[in-house]
Amino acid sequence: MHSPGEDLHEDYIEKIKRLKAQRNAVILVHNYQLPEVQDIADIMGDSLDLSRAAIEADCSVVVFCGVQFMAEIASILNPGKIVLLPVEEAGCRAADMITVERLKAMKAQFPDAAVVCYVNSSAAIKAESDICCTSRNAIEVVRSLKDYERVIFIPDGNLARWVQSRVPDKEMIPWEGFCPTHVMVSKEEILCSKQQHQGAEFIAHPECELDILALADCVGGTGEMLDYVRNSPCRKFIVGTEMGLTHRLKKENPDKSFYSPSKSFVCPDMKLTTLEKVAHALETMTYRIEVPENIRQRAKVSLDRMLR
């Protein structure tokens, strides 16, 4: 017998399926979303996976279960498709740590530097950048800048420092933004978790601080973590990123165990999207994400360079 909550979930799932068919919609879901939202995804992934999927999706409507900057990317790359963000206020606190005015001032200070923009940023910031990157391809992107010795890396300072450690021939000029979720975890929590789960491998996101990354068996974006766990003979993993990834890891690796080392690994914005909100988005066609054309075209250049 189902609980009232489970019955309500089933009602929303059926409504979403019906409306999705009517709207010719595809549901893209980021790895950090609630488990029940992950379970209705047509396509799951990290920022890079979903960027590509938005282009390739044969649909009229994209429902993006993530945060503002992700839906903006889908809109930038798909001007002919309607892009919906189920929760209008789902933002990214790291993205809010940089403004166009302050970036322009930094560019004026370092005119010989290329600007590499982490996708966790607004469309307007992407429009002021030379090339975008994700946590998965940041090292590759920076290495590709053969004509530049200096790189302004925005807005995540921890990711910039991780890239610098892997690309020592470039001078990285980091913007001192950060992901509040990833910097809340302490080295002591990781060491305690390692002690508690003897033999477990530690996988970590490069938005964590360097002293934590130094303890990791694998450092990478969520896509890289999924690949690493899939191919590792180890049976136990400490997951050094937002707790939402653990749901997918368990589904894809039912014979392995996963542990979150910190209660701080929760992104409040990623947890705003619910089945009810997704159903409402499809029913009312809200909240539509549209990027002004003059910004869209310039931001698309930096995204296209990344995708190439």
Domains by residue range for the chain, with CATH: 4-90+270-292 (3.40.50.10800), 95-179 (3.40.50.10800), 185-259 (3.40.50.10800)
Region of 203 please: left (phi>0), alpha (psi -120 to 50) or beta: beta
> Per-residue pLDDT for 230 more than 90?
yes
CA distance 69 to 47: 10
pLDDT digits (tens, 9 = 90+) for 98-141: 999 999 999 999 999 999 999 999 999 999 999 999 999 999 99
pLDDT at 244 over 60: yes
In this prediction, residue 54 carries a pLDDT of 83
Q: What mean pLDDT is reported for the chain? A: 95
pLDDT at 302 over 70: yes
**Residues 34-52, mean pLDDT to the nearest whole number:** 92
pLDDT confidence bin for 52, thresholds 50/70/90: confident
Residues 166-191 pLDDT 10s: 999 999 999 999 999 999 999 999 99
| Tokens read off for 279 | 């159903």
Tally of CA atoms within 13 A in the half-sphere of 57 that contains its CB: 30
Q: What pLDDT is attached to residue 40?
A: 98
Q: Please give the structure tokens belonging to residue 26.
A: 């595809």
Alpha-carbon span 12 to 275, nearest angstrom: 6
Strand, helix or coil for residue 165: helix
Question: Residue 4 pLDDT more than 70?
Answer: no
Q: How far is CA 43 from CA 25, 86, 162, 172, in A?
A: 12, 16, 29, 34
With cut-offs at 50, 70 and 90, classify the pLDDT of residue 151: very high
pLDDT band at 5 (very low <50, low <70, confident <90, very high): low
Q: Which residue in this structure is represented by tokens 């914005």?
A: 269
Residues 185-215 pLDDT 10s: 999 999 999 999 999 999 999 999 999 999 9
Within 8 A by CB and 6+ apart from 138, the residues are: 116, 118, 159, 162, 163, 206
When mean pLDDT is compared across 9-23, 38-52, 173-187, 261-275, the lowest value belongs to 38-52
- pLDDT band at residue 2 using 50, 70 and 90 as cut-offs: low
Q: Put residue 168 in one of left, alpha, beta given phi > 0 → left and psi -120 to 50 → alpha.
A: alpha
Distance CA 152, CA 112 (A): 10
Reported as a single tens digit per residue, the pLDDT across 263-274 is 999 999 999 999
